[in-house]
């Protein structure tokens, strides 16, 4: 039996650090539904400051943060522009359509690097037949784009197109600190032009639960009501916020380690015959690879049996995510396991 399970399925599998467990125990609490939880209030202020926005609102998850952001920026029946591989389009149960009565207008994703001219072409002109286009959603880093990073210049160009045409911009920044770390800049440079941004505490920052949405004071006041409608109004949520405070103080700077590990992983995978990956795409903590000649069920079962877990995203494509708790030695071990699992492919044929 393998010893340590090396779980590379997602950075959502991270467990709280000892400092977070202590902070939860000691957290000052109150009723956040009435805005009276001091720990939540502190986290919201810290987060808003990091994002360069006026205010923040703690939400239960990234999915809820995106939905709150979308609903607070639109009216029922309008249309929102998304990349055709955006998380909020593919993996959030179509909440914007189901709950917001919004139609999605997908544009080519380009690994998250949406093209301003393609966005501009998707904006509906004023016409009796059309819904009003009211929001552009961006994603940084981009999950399905192998953790691709949007630069401040790209973000600005996209925001300019949106704002010139009367659209708001919501940024799914679930992993915004990974993007900032990769570029070596403060996160607020990546959020400067957007109207709202969500980021997650429960991914690379290692918290057990929680995300946040930031924007103008007026937007957050509206978002608070939407959150309540979605059942996301919490009570002594300072238990959750306490971990977020530790995360912002202690867990952002270490993301560079995850990125370095992802690069080693991607390079190692590229050297395994039978595995297809482009190591240049490993910009942050997400690595995708393909093994066309083996069934996904077999590959996953073999690797899991040898103590290495990762996700089969679709077809013969797989995703590995590095995070807190995964050390350099685990990367070497994972590479050795994957290499053994695909080895029969490479055996000389009789
Ligand atoms: N991503 C998860 C899930 O897809 C399972 C993962 O493992 O990567 N935006 C982005 C870019 C995300 O990657 C995710 C979660 C979310 C939003 C939603 O966050 P949660 O899971 O907190 O609702």
| d(CA 349, ligand 1 centre) in Å | 42
pLDDT band at 344 (very low <50, low <70, confident <90, very high): confident
Total-model pTM:
0.97
Q: Is residue 350 part of a domain?
A: no
> Of all residues in the chain, what percent carry a pLDDT higher than 70?
98
Residues with a CB atom less than 6 Å from ligand 1 = 10, 12, 61-63, 66, 87, 91, 139, 143, 172, 174, 200, 202, 211
Calculate how far, in angstroms, residue 200's C-alpha sits from the geometric centre of ligand 1: 9
How remote is the CA of residue 62 from the centroid of ligand 1, in Å? 6
Residue 169 CA to residue 74 CA, distance in Å, equals 11
**Minimum CA distance residue for ligand 1 atom 8:** 10
Q: What is the pLDDT of residue 3?
A: 79
Instruction: Characterize 219-252 residue by residue with b for buried, 16 or more Cβ atoms within 10 angstroms of its Cβ, and e for exposed.
Output: bbebbbebbeebebbbebbbbbbbbbbbbbeebb
Residue from 203, 207, 262, 286 whose mutation best tests the ligand 1 pocket (most atoms within 8 A of CB): 203
**Has residue 29 got a pLDDT over 70?**
yes
Distance CA 286, CA 234 (A): 32
- Asked whether residue 349 is assigned to any structural domain, the reply reads no
Judge whether residue 248 has pLDDT over 80.
yes
For residue 18, the model assigns a pLDDT of 98
Question: How confident is the model over 57-67, as a mean pLDDT?
Answer: 98
CA 173 distance to own-chain centroid? 6
Percent of residues, the chain, with pLDDT higher than 90? 96
Instruction: Indicate the top mutation candidate among 138, 174, 211, 320 to test ligand 1's pocket, ranked by most ligand atoms within 8 A of CB.
Output: 174
Counting from 1 in the atom list of ligand 1, the atom nearest the Cα of 63 is 23
Report the CATH number at residue 56: 3.40.640.10
The residue range of the domain holding 135 is: 18-250
Asked whether the predicted pLDDT for residue 1 surpasses 70, the reply is: no
**How far does the centroid of ligand 1 lie from the alpha carbon of residue 203, in Å?**
8
Average pLDDT of the chain to the nearest whole number: 97
Do 315 and 332 lie in a common domain?
Answer: yes
218, 250, 282 — which closes off a domain?
250
Q: How far does the centroid of ligand 1 lie from the alpha carbon of residue 19, in Å?
A: 24
CA proximity to 13, closest of 179, 283, 207: 207
Q: What is the pLDDT of residues 69-117, one digit of tens each?
A: 999 999 999 999 999 999 999 999 999 999 999 999 999 999 999 999 9
Q: Is 274 exposed, middle or buried (0-12, 13-18, 19+ CB in 10 A)?
A: middle
Residues 233 and 288 in one domain: no
Which of 250, 283, 308 is the C-terminal boundary of a domain? 250
Residue nearest to atom 7 of ligand 1 (CA): 10
3-state secondary structure of 210: coil
User: How big is the CA angle at 76 (ends 75 and 80), to the nearest 5 degrees?
Assistant: 75
Residue 188 lies in a domain: yes
Considering only CA atoms, which of 297, 288, 296, 247 is closest in space to residue 269? 288
CA of 138 to the centre of ligand 1 (A): 14
pLDDT value at residue 347? 66
Tell me, in angstroms, the distance from the centre of ligand 1 to residue 50's CA.
Answer: 21
* Whether residue 163 sits in one domain with residue 99: yes
Is 82 domain-assigned? Answer: yes
Same domain, 60 and 203: yes
Claim to verify: residue 104 and residue 217 sit in the same structural domain: yes
Q: Which of 262, 309, 304, 303 is nearest to 283 (CA)?
A: 262
């Amino acid at each position: 039996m393998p010893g340590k399970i090396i779980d590379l399925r997602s950075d959502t599998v991270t467990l709280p650090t000892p400092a977070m467990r202590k902070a939860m125990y000691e957290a000052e609490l109150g009723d956040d539904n009435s805005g009276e939880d001091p720990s939540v209030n502190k986290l919201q202020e810290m987060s808003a400051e990091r994002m360069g926005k006026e205010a923040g609102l703690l939400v239960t998850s990234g999915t809820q943060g995106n939905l709150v952001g979308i609903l607070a920026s639109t009216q029922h029946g309008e249309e929102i522009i998304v990349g055709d591989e955006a998380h909020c389009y593919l993996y959030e149960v179509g909440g914007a359509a189901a709950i917001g009565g919004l139609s999605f207008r997908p544009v080519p994703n380009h690994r998250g690097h949406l093209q301003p001219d393609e966005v501009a072409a998707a904006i509906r002109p004023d016409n009796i037949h059309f819904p009003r286009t009211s929001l552009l959603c961006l994603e940084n880093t981009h999950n399905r784009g192998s953790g691709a990073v949007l630069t401040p210049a790209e973000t600005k160009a996209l925001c300019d197109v949106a704002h010139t045409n009367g659209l708001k911009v919501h940024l799914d920044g679930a992993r915004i600190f990974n993007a900032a770390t990769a570029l070596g800049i403060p996160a607020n440079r990546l959020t400067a032009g957007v109207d709202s941004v969500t980021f997650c505490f429960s991914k690379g920052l290692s918290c057990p639960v929680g995300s946040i949405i930031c924007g103008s004071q007026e937007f957050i006041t509206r978002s608070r009501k939407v959150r309540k409608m979605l059942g996301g109004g919490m009570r002594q949520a300072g238990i959750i916020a306490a971990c977020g405070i530790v995360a912002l103080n202690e867990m952002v700077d270490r993301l560079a380690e995850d990125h370095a590990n992802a690069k080693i992983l991607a390079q190692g995978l590229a050297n395994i015959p039978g595995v297809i990956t482009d190591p240049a795409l490993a910009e942050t903590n997400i690595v995708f690879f393909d093994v066309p000649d083996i069934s996904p069920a077999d590959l996953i079962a073999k690797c899991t049996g040898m103590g290495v877990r990762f996700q089969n995203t679709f077809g013969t494509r797989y995703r590995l995510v590095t995070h807190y708790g995964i050390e350099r030695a685990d990367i070497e071990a994972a590479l050795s396991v994957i290499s053994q699992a695909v080895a029969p492919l490479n055996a000389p044929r009789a």
